[in-house]
Amino acid sequence: MKEKRALIVDDSRSARLVLQRMLEKYGLRADTVASAEDALDYLLRHRPDVIFMDHMMPGMDGFEAVRHIKKNLETATIPIIMFTSQSGEIYLSQARALGAVDILPKATASTELHEALRRLGLLKETVAVDEVVRDEPLNEKSVTHPIRKFTSDLLRPNKVESDDKVIAELREIRRSLPDQYDALLQNIQASFRLYSGKLNKAFSEKLDEKLQTLVNLQPQPEKRSELPLLLLIVLLCISLFWNYSLQQKIVKAGSAPAQQVMNKEMLQSTLDSWAAQQNMDAETGMQLQKHNWNLAEWAINQNLLFPYNELALGSQRLAQIRQLLKMAEVAGFRGRIVLQTHIGEFCLRGNVEEGYQLAAADLPLSRCDVIMNPAQSSDLVSMQQSVEFANFLATAITDYNGIKLEVSNLPRDQALYEYPSRTGNVTAGQWNRIAQLNNRISARLIASD
């Protein structure tokens, strides 16, 4: 029988070694590489029966590597198992949407590996479950002679060593795993901080430019007229002069009470006019604020287009949406921000080496290999967001004061912009321009009353 072969892709040397030895106990020859790029080079020369793919790696990550492997017709049928510390239904659905057949958590790999290999039909009948190294501590008394011989032969095919040395080596590997985990976690966090800092700086600069442009375009509020105040002062002066004149006449005519009533009525009428003017200015301010939110919503919707080969709610849009929420909070917005995704269908040409690409602009539409969206297999919102965005969405409701973020989708068959007719002389360029307009996120700012 032909020997089964597995490929392990992981940047952690200890993780590769542990999984390699576990696979050898099931009779699988395991080759290892330290990066996704090395894995793609390996697949140019070899065809393993299964690939164990880590998720977080320097350079190309596991999901991106899975996309490349599944786009190549010569490697698309190789089953891929994500060998990672990630978990959860959202992560599992995203991994399967990309083409992975299963997830093998690193924490429980020794207990779940047998079942994963059994589902793929890669187990030899002669290998028993109790011959696998368990997670509990090993000791010399608990290791039977058949297991000792099996372990020694697999780990050192060309050199027979004592059981004590094998057990000591396994214990050493186990002791080194926490250190490897901490080092890997620190590297990942440092990479995230560096990358997010660069994205935040670039996005902040562009958003500041856009907002400054919007501020310059906004109609300036009319300067409040000072005429009512001047009129009030003039009327008060006239009233004082009039009262003085009346006082001169009081002695002669004794009509002061009637004149005082007249002056009081004139002053009250002037104050009522001033209050009405103030109320009118307040209503004008509210209308101007509502106009500003509508203008901000229009500006946001000009920038939420995304390429045909990216997730709608992926990491690329996350920085934009974080900045949008922060600036809305600073500007005093209170209410709901509703994001609605819509997917465009593109005219694509495909080949074995590069996968599907946008067709040339002058290509007739009838010569497209396929019209679809390669990054969005479903209209479900859960299939259109990355793990990072899903985690952000779960915490956004408490991070932004008075602002609630909602996400929904509009089915792709309800096109925002009508596609050209597929008959006639329509080109791929004409079609893809409309598809790009449909491949977008729409934002609505609904202020609370």
Tens of pLDDT, residues 338-369: 888 999 999 999 876 778 889 999 999 988 98
Cα–Cα distance for residue pair 406/340, rounded to 1 Å: 8
Q: Does the pLDDT value for residue 205 go beyond 90?
A: no
Annotated domain spans of the chain:
5-189, 227-295, 303-447
> What is the arithmetic mean of pLDDT over 119-130?
64
In the chain, pLDDT over 90 holds for what percent of residues?
23
Q: How many C-beta atoms surround the C-beta of residue 170 within 10 A? A: 17
Q: Check if the beta carbon of residue 95 is closer than 8 Å to that of residue 63.
A: yes
Cα–Cα distance for residue pair 408/290, rounded to 1 Å: 24
Higher model confidence: residue 237 or residue 9? 9
One fold for 5-189 and 303-447: no
Q: Mean pLDDT for the chain?
A: 76
Q: Does the pLDDT value for residue 252 go beyond 60?
A: no
Cα–Cα distance for residue pair 421/425, rounded to 1 Å: 9
Q: Does the pLDDT value for residue 63 go beyond 70?
A: yes
Q: Does the pLDDT value for residue 130 go beyond 70?
A: no
Cα–Cα distance for residue pair 366/198, rounded to 1 Å: 43
CATH of domain 5-189: 3.40.50.2300
Helix (H) or strand (E) holding 159: none
User: What's the CATH class of domain 303-447?
Assistant: alpha beta
pLDDT band at 176 (very low <50, low <70, confident <90, very high): low
In the chain, pLDDT over 70 holds for what percent of residues?
68
Choose among 381, 375, 382, 303: nearest CA to 344: 375
First-to-last CA distance in the chain? 74
Residue type, 380: L
pLDDT for 148: 40
pLDDT for 158: 47
Higher model confidence: residue 225 or residue 92? 92
Altogether, the residues listed in the chain come to a count of 449
> What is the arithmetic mean of pLDDT over 264-277?
51
pLDDT band at 388 (very low <50, low <70, confident <90, very high): confident
Q: How far is CA 205 from CA 88, 98, 201, 210, 322, in A?
A: 36, 34, 6, 9, 14
Q: Does the pLDDT value for residue 157 go beyond 80?
A: no
Cα–Cα distance for residue pair 133/128, rounded to 1 Å: 11
